[in-house]
Structure 1
Amino acid sequence: MFDTPVLSLDGIVDSLPAAEKARFERIYALTATVGELRVPETMQPWVEQQFGSLDAVTRQKIVRVTNKLTGEETLFSKLRASRPQDTGTVDVELAYSDATDFFSRPYDSTPEDVFGRVVGKHCVTASNVAKFDSFHGLLVFNDFNPLDFTRAQIIDYIDVAREWALKAHQTQPEAKYFALIWNCLWRAGASIGHGHAHVMLTGGRHYARIERLRRAAVSYRQDNGGNYFDDLFRCHQAVGCALKRDGVGIMAYLTPFKDKEVIIMADELSQSFKEKVYEVLACFRDKLGVASFNLGLVTPPLAPTEESWQDFPVMVRVVDRGNPHHRASDVGGMEVYAASVVSSDPIEITGELAKWLPEEVDNG
Structure 2
Amino acid sequence: MKVRMTSTVQMKRSHLIGISFIIMLVLYVVFSSLRLGWLSSLHGQSDDAGSSHGSGTLKRGKYSVWPDFSVALDKQPDWFVKNCWPGEKLSVSAVSQVMGRWAEALPLHCSEMYKTFVTIFDVKTLKTKVLIEGPFAKKVKKWLGNNEDLFQEANDQTVIKIYNFYTNEQVLINPLRDKRPIAKPQKPERELFTAQDHFTRLESEHSVSASNTFKWDKWHGLILTKQHHPLNWNEEQFMDLMKTAMKWFEVVQAQDTSFSYPVIIWDLLPHASASQIHPHIHTNLNAERYYGYLENWRSAGELYYHDTSRNYFTDLAGTHKALNLSIQLGEAVAFAHLIPRKDDEVVVMSRLPDEDFFKLIYYTVRAFIEDMEKFCFSLAVALPTMGGDKTGQIPAFARIVTRGSVSSIRSDISSVDLFVASNVNIDPYKVIGYIRNSVAKRYTDTSGASF
TM-score, normalised by the number of residues in structure 2: 0.72
Change (3 A) 1:290 1:84: closer
For 1:36, the aligned partner's letter is K
Percent identity among equivalent residues? 25
Name the residue aligned to 1:309. 392
Contact 2:352/2:384 (8 A) holds in 1: no
Question: Shift in Å at residue 102 of structure 1?
Answer: 4.0
Deviation per CA, 1:118-156: give whole Å up to 9, x if none.
Answer: 112111111111000001111122111221121111111
Name the residue aligned to 2:174. 77
Name the residue aligned to 2:122. 29
Name the residue aligned to 2:76. none
Matches within 5 A, 1:55-66: 55-66=152-163
Name the residue aligned to 2:400. 318
| Corresponding position: 1:139 with 2:223 | yes
Deviation per CA, 1:315-346: give whole Å up to 9, x if none.
Answer: 12110001111111110000001001112110
Contact 2:367/2:438 (8 A) holds in 1: yes
Change (3 A) 1:55 1:282: same
Name the residue aligned to 1:279. 363
Contact 2:224/2:241 (8 A) holds in 1: no
For 1:201, the aligned partner's letter is L
Name the residue aligned to 1:180. 264
Matches within 5 A, 1:183-262: 183-262=267-346
For 1:315, the aligned partner's letter is F
Q: Is there any run of 5+ residues in structure 1 with no aligned partner, and where? A: 104-109
| Corresponding position: 1:113 with 2:205 | no
Question: Shift in Å at residue 293 of structure 1?
Answer: 0.3
User: 1:195 and 1:76 mapped to 2: Cα distance?
Assistant: 31
Question: Shift in Å at residue 72 of structure 1?
Answer: 1.1
Q: Is there any run of 5+ residues in structure 2 with no aligned partner, and where? A: 1-88, 103-109, 445-451
User: 2:410 and 2:98 mapped to 1: Cα distance?
Assistant: 34
- Does the residue aligned with 1:255 lie in a helix, a strand or coil? coil
- Does the residue aligned with 1:64 lie in a helix, a strand or coil? strand
User: 2:127 and 2:227 mapped to 1: Cα distance?
Assistant: 48
Contact 2:90/2:98 (8 A) holds in 1: no
User: 1:48 and 1:113 mapped to 2: Cα distance?
Assistant: 54
Change (3 A) 1:4 1:251: closer
Q: How many residues are treated as equivalent by the alignment?
A: 344
Question: Shift in Å at residue 90 of structure 1?
Answer: 6.0
Max Rg structure: 2
CA RMSD, Structure 1 to Structure 2 (Å): 2.3
User: 2:417 and 2:90 mapped to 1: Cα distance?
Assistant: 22
Contact 1:9/1:239 (8 A) holds in 2: no
Name the residue aligned to 1:342. 424
For 1:180, the aligned partner's letter is I
- Does the residue aligned with 2:127 lie in a helix, a strand or coil? strand
Moved more, 115-124 or 45-54: 45-54
For 1:247, the aligned partner's letter is E
Name the residue aligned to 2:247. 163
User: 1:78 and 1:184 mapped to 2: Cα distance?
Assistant: 26
Moved more, 225-234 or 35-44: 35-44
Question: Shift in Å at residue 86 of structure 1?
Answer: 9.5
For 1:263, the aligned partner's letter is V
